[in-house]
A and B are shown apart, each in its own frame.
Chain A
C-alpha cells in the first residue's frame, strides 16, 4: 500500500474515532487527572478557586480515619454478597427462561422491569416493604407464618443484607438479559452432539454452557463489581448509612465529607482511592480471564 494512502486511511480512522475519544478525554480522562490534582488540596465549593495545597495530608488522614476504613469494609462486604448472588441469579433465570414454555416472555419482562425502574422509586417502595414493626409488608409476612418481626433496616446486623436484597432484585434482570444474549451465541450443534454422546442436562450446562459463557460472565463480573463499589442511592434513601455506620459505603462517605461537611479535597482523595481499587480489581480480573478474549 502506498505510504500516502496509508496515511490517509489512518487519518480517516482517527477522524471516525474522534467523537468518542473527545467525549472520553473531556468527561472521563481529564476529570480523573483533575481529581488526582485536587486531592492534594483542601477546598470546598466556596474556596474552589483558592484551594490550599496540603500535599499528601488528605491521604495521610485516610490512613487514620476509622470511618473511612469502616466504609471500605462495608463496601467490600456489600460487594462480596451482592456480586455473586446477582450474577448467579441472572444465570439461573436465563437458563430457565431460555426454555420454551407458555408465558415465557411475560416472565422475562417481569424479571427485567425492576432494572428500568428509577432507583429512588424502588428504594422508597422497599423502604415501605421493610418498615419496622408490624407496619411493613415483610414483617407482616413473617407474622403470618408465626415468626418474629425483624428490624430490616434498623438492625445493624441485617441492614446491609436488606440493601443487598433490594439491589439483587433491582439488577439481576439485567444480568439475565445479558446471559440470554450470551446463550444465543452458543451453537445448537454442540448440544445436539453432546446429547448424542449421552451427556445429561447438567453435564451439558457444566461442560458446554458455562465455559462458553465465560466472556459474558467476565463482562458481568467486571461491570457488577464496579457498580457494587459505586453503590449510593438506595443507602442514601433507605438507611442514610446507618444504623450507626452499618451501611455507610465509600461513595456515601465521600458524599458526606464533600457535600455535608464541606471537605471536598478529602472527598476527592477518597474518590481517587476508590478509582485505584476499581482499576486494580479490573486488572486482576483481566489477568484471571486472559482467555476471555471475546466480550459481548
Chain B
C-alpha cells in the first residue's frame, strides 16, 4: 500500500513539475530604486496565482534593449513577453515577428484602454499585408508633455498661470519672462526653454495648427500650410521673438530641466517623470500648465509616448504570455506602477483613481492628455523623425526659410518610403 502511495505521489509531483511552464519576460528600462521592485513583486504574485513561472529579465535602456531583442529574435531565442519603447513595435511588426494580439487579449481590457493611446497600437502600414490593421501591442503606461514653470518667476513678472493661453499670449508672456534681473545688460532669465534636437518639441505646434506628420495616404505631410505654420511658430521663438535660452538648438532635455531648477528659464515643456524630479527640488514652486492653444483651430495638442507590451511570434507560450500581460495591465497594478514611476495610466479606470485626479500636477497632465497626439506609428519612424529634425534644426540655426526645409524633408522621406516599398 505504501509503495502504491509513493508511486502515486511521484506521478503527481512529476506531472505537476512538467505542467509548470516557464515564460520569459523582458522588461526594457526601469529604475531599480523606483519601479522595478513593484514589477518584481507583481510578477511573483502572478507566479503564485497561476503556477506559471516567470523569468524576469531587466534590460536597462543604456544596454540598448531594442537591439538585444532583435538579436534574440534573429537567433530564435525571443522572449515570450516584452515591454519595449513605442513605436519600436511597428518596426518589429514590419518584419512579421510579432504575434497579433487581437485574439489573445480580452475585449474588456481593450475597452478600458484610452482610445487615443490604443490607436497607436494598431499596425497601419501596407507592408506586410497580413499585419495591416492588426493590434500589435498593449500600452503599459503613457505619458504626455505639459508646461512646467516656476511660480516665483511668473509672480515676479506678473504673468498668469499657463492655462488656456493662446499662441499670441504665449509669445507675449514668454517675452515678459525674458528679462535682465540685475541690470547688467545681459539676459538672466529666458522665458521659454526648449531643445530642438527633440523633434516633438517642434512638431507639437504643427499639430496645434492642424497639421499632421503623415497624411491619410501614409505619405509625409510636412508641406501643408498647417504644418508650416506650426513649425514656423516654433522657429520664430528662437529667431524673431528671442525668448529661447542659448544653446537650445542642440541640448539634452535634462539640461533644460536643470536650467528651470536653477531659475535661468521660466518654463519649458516636459513629461511627468521630470515633473516628479523637479518637485523634489522646487516643491510647491513648480507649476504645471497646458500647452498654448492655436487661435484658429482651438487645439492645444501635446505629444504622448508610451511603453508597450508585445508578444513575439516565436513565443511557444503565447497564452501564458497573454495572461501575464493582462495581469500587469490590470487596473490596480497599472495604478500602482504609475503612482510609483510618475507615468500616466493608459486605462480609463486607473486614470480615474483619486491619486491622479486629486494631484494638481498629475491632474494637469491628464487634462493635457485629452488633447495629445501619438508619435509616428510607422516602421520608418526613426528615419522620418531624424530627417525632419535635421532640416528644422538647420533652418533655425541658419535662420533660413522653414518651408524650404520642410519641402526638402518631405522629398527625402517620400524617397525613402518609396525605396522601402511603403509607397507606390
- Asked whether A46 and B251 contact (CB < 8 A) given A243-B393, A256-B386, A261-B382, the answer is no
A residues 191-245 near B (Cβ < 8 Å) are 239-240, 242-245
Are A46 and B249 in contact, with the CB atoms below 8 A? Answer: no
- In the complex the two chains form, is B248's CB within 8 Å of A154's CB? yes
Whether a CB of chain B sits under 8 angstroms from the CB of A294 is: no
Output the nearest chain B residue to A157 by Cβ-Cβ distance: B397
CA–CA, A193 and B92, complex, Å: 74
Contact B390 A49 (CB under 8 A): no
- Contacts A135-B262, A153-B250 given: A46-B393 contact, CB under 8 Å? no
Q: Are B393 and A244 in contact (CB-based, < 8 A)?
A: yes
Which A residues lie at the B interface, using CB under 8 A?
A: 44-49, 61, 66-67, 131-135, 149, 151, 153-156, 159, 239-240, 242-246, 256, 259-262
Chain A, interface SS category: loop
B247 at the interface (CB under 8 A from A): yes
Question: With A45-B67, A243-B197 known to touch, is A261 a contact of B249 (CB < 8 Å)?
Answer: no
B163 at the interface (CB under 8 A from A): no
Chain A residues contacting B390 (CB-CB under 8 Å) are 67, 242, 244-245
In the assembled complex, the Cα of A133 lies from the Cα of B245 at a distance in Å of 7
A156 contacts which of B64, B92, B397 (Cβ < 8 Å)? B397
- Chain A contacts for B382, CB-based, 8 A: 260-262
B247 touches A154 (CB 8 A): yes
Most chain-B CB neighbours within 10 Å: which of A44, A153, A242, A245?
Answer: A242
Q: How many interface residues does chain B have, given as a range?
A: 35 or more
Rounded to whole Å, the gap between the CB of A154 and the closest CB of chain B is: 4
CB-based nearest A residue for B384? A261
Out of B67, B73, B264, B397, which one reaches A133, CB within 8 Å?
A: B264
Let me know if A242 and B197 touch, CB within 8 A: yes
Q: How far is the CB of A58 from the nearest CB of chain B, in Å?
A: 11
Chain B residues within CB distance 8 Å of chain A: 64, 67, 70-71, 73-74, 91-92, 95, 97, 196-197, 245-251, 255, 258-259, 262, 264, 380, 382-383, 386, 390-391, 393-394, 397-398, 412, 419
Nearest to A65 among chain B residues (CB) is B412
Bound Cα distance from A271 to B344, whole angstroms: 42
**Chain B interface mostly:** helix
B248: A residues at CB distance < 8 A: 132, 154
> B255, B262, B380: which has the most chain A beta carbons within 10 Å?
B255
B250 touches A135 (CB 8 A): no
CA distance A67 to B394 in the complex (A): 13
Q: How far apart sit A240 and B389, CA to CA, in the bound complex (Å)? A: 12
Q: Which of B70, B251, B393, B419 has the most CB of A within 10 A?
A: B251
Report the Cα distance A66→B251, complex, angstroms. 24
Instruction: Point out the residue from B64, B250, B412 that lies within 8 Å of A239, measured CB to CB.
Output: B250
Across the interface, name the chain B residue whose C-beta is closest to A143: B186
With both beta carbons as reference points, the residue of chain B lying nearest to A152 in the complex is identified as B247
**Shortest 9 CB-CB contacts between residues of A and residues of B:** A132-B247, A243-B250, A244-B394, A154-B247, A45-B70, A244-B393, A242-B250, A154-B250, A243-B249
Known contacts being A240-B197, A244-B390, is A135 close to B74, with CB within 8 Å?
A: no
Contacts of B245 in A (CB 8 A): 132-133
- Which residues of A lie under 8 Å from residue B67 when comparing CB positions? 45, 259
